A and B are shown apart, each in its own frame.
Chain A
C-alpha cells in the first residue's frame, strides 16, 4: 500500500523529470551540434562528440539529475503535494501517522521508491542519449560512455539523499529552495576549487568508473549519513 501511495504522489513529478531529460536531450543533440560544428570547424566529428559528451555529463549529471533528485524526493515525507512547492505541512500527515506503520518504514518506502525512479530515469536518459546520437550525426564512438554512468549516479544519489534529509526538516518550499541553493553553491565551489572531494565536475568527467575511489567512498558515505540523519529526524520529530 505504501508503494501505491509513493507512486500516486510521485507520478507527476516523475513525468516532469522525464520532461527535463527530454529537454536536455533536445538541446544536446538537436541544437548544440550544428552550432558547435560551425564554431569549431577544425574539430573532427569524434572530438566534437567528446565535447558534446562532456557538456552532457556536466549538465545532466551535475545539474539536471540533482534537480530531478530534488523533485523526486520532495512529496510524501512531510509535504503531500504531487506538484508544486507548497508552503507548510499537509494536514494528511496526522492521518498518515495514525496508521500502524513505523515512521522509518514510511520514509524508507517513499525514499526507496524515489531512488528507484531516479535510477530508471538516469538509465533511460543515458540510453536515449547514446542511442539517439547517431541519428543527429553526433559521434560518441570514441568514448566508453557507460563508464561515466556510475559516477553520475553516485553524484545523483548524493543530492537525492540531501533532498530526502532536507524534506524531513523543512516544508516543500524551503526544502526545495535550500536544496537548490546548496546545489548552486557546490557547483560554484566545484568549478573554482578543483581536486577536492566536493569537486563534482572532475569526478563526473572521470573516464574510469567510481574513480577516484576516495571521492566515491566519501560521496557514498555522505549519502548514507544524510539518509540516517533523515531517519533520525523522522523518528524524533513531533507532529
Chain B
C-alpha cells in the first residue's frame, strides 16, 4: 500500500549570502506518524520548518504539506490553518496574559477544542491571568504545547518542544503528544537534537546533517536493519575495502567493527569466508547510530 505523506520535500536548497543551509533536503513524513527530525545544531532543521510554513523561500526544490504546495503563499495559508507550530524561540506576545494568548489563538481556528484547552490548562497548571513575560521558561513551553494541541490541527510541527522543561514536565508533554497521535491520528514532526527523547516516542525518523537528510524511515525498520558486527580478523587492505562497501568500518588491530544497514548477513558471510572469528552482531542504540553516520557523512564530504 502506498504511504501517504503529510510532508514531502524534494531537493530543497537554501543559500544565504554566507552559508548554504540546505543542500538538497528530501523528506517524507508519513501521515499519522510521530516523526523525529534529528540533527545537530545548524543541520538545517529549523530552515526546513520555516520553508514548510512559508516564513522562508527555498533557493530551489519543492515542498508539499498535507497535499498542498507549501511554496504557494495562498496554499501555505491553508496549510497553516491545519497546522500547529511551536517555534524554537518560545516567546509570545509580551503584553498579553496567558489567557489573552489562548483567546487570541483560538480565534483563528474553527477547530479549536475547548475541552482540550481546559484539560491542558489544568494539567499544565497554566496561570491564565499572568503576563507571558512573567511565566517560567517551562510554563511558557507548556503554554505553547497547549496552543498547539487545542487548535485541532492535522499536523503539529514542533521545534525543540521540550526545551526548558524539567524531566517530569518533559515526560508530560511527550505523553500529551503520543496521546494526540493515538487518539486523533494527528501527524507530529518533532525537530530536536535530543535523540533519546525523540527515540522514546517517535515511530519515524529523518536524520539530517549539513542540510541533507541522509537517512529516514520507520524507527523499527532502522533498529532491525542496523547492526554492529564485531569480529577478529587479520585482514589485508583489499579485504577491509570490501567491508567498507557494506558499512562503516572501524579497525583496531585485529578487532574489526562494522556498522551496517541492511547488509548484516552479507557482512557476516564475508567475515566467515575471510576467516573471521568471534563474530557477533549487536543492535545499535539510535544515538550511536546517528553519531557514526554523521561522522561518516563528514568523512565523505
Nearest-CB residue, chain B, relative to A8: B95
- Pick the contact of A100: B77, B90, B94, B104 (CB < 8 A): B77
Specify the chain A residue showing the minimal Cβ separation from B53: A98
* Chain B 91-115 interface residues, beta-carbon cutoff 8 Å to A: 91-96, 100, 103-105, 107-109
List the B side residues contacting A92 at CB < 8 Å. 91-94
| Interface assignment of B89: CB less than 8 Å from any CB of chain A | yes
CB distance from A14 to the nearest CB of B (A): 12
Q: How far, in Å, is A88 (CB) from chain B's closest CB? A: 11
Q: How far is the CA of A42 from the CA of B53 in the complex (A)?
A: 70
| A101→B83 CA distance, assembly (Å) | 12
Q: What number of A residues sit within 8 Å (CB to CB) of B?
A: 25
> Chain B residues near A190 (CB, 8 Å)?
none
Separation of A37 and B89 alpha carbons in the complex (Å): 59
- Which residues from 194 to 223 on chain A have a C-beta closer than 8 Å to any C-beta of chain B? none
Chain A 67-107 interface 0/1 with B at a Cβ cutoff of 8 Å (1 = within): 00000000000001110000000111011111111100000
Q: Nearest-CB distance from A43 to chain B (Å)?
A: 48
Contact status of A8 and B107, CB under 8 A, knowing A99-B80, A238-B57 = no
Majority SS at the chain B contact face: loop
Q: Is the CB of B96 within 8 A of A8?
A: yes
Complex Cα–Cα for A71 and B91 (A): 23
Asked if B87 is at the interface of the complex by the 8 Å CB criterion, the answer is yes
Q: Residue of A at shortest CB range from B104?
A: A1
Check: B85 CB closer than 8 A to any chain A CB: yes
B87 touches A95 (CB 8 A): yes
Check A82 against B91 for contact (C-beta < 8 Å).
no
Complex alpha-carbon distance, A176 and B90, angstroms: 26
Task: Let me know if A1 and B55 touch, CB within 8 A.
Answer: no
CB of B85 within 8 A of CB of A238, answer no
Provide the bound-state CA to CA distance between A101 and B80, in Å: 8
B interface with A by C-beta (< 8 Å): 50, 53-57, 73, 77-78, 80-81, 83-85, 87-96, 100, 103-105, 107-109, 144
Known: A9-B93, A94-B50. 17 other contacts (CB 8 A): A4-B103, A5-B93, A5-B104, A80-B93, A82-B95, A91-B87, A91-B91, A92-B94, A94-B89, A98-B53, A98-B85, A99-B105, A100-B80, A100-B109, A101-B77, A238-B50, A238-B56
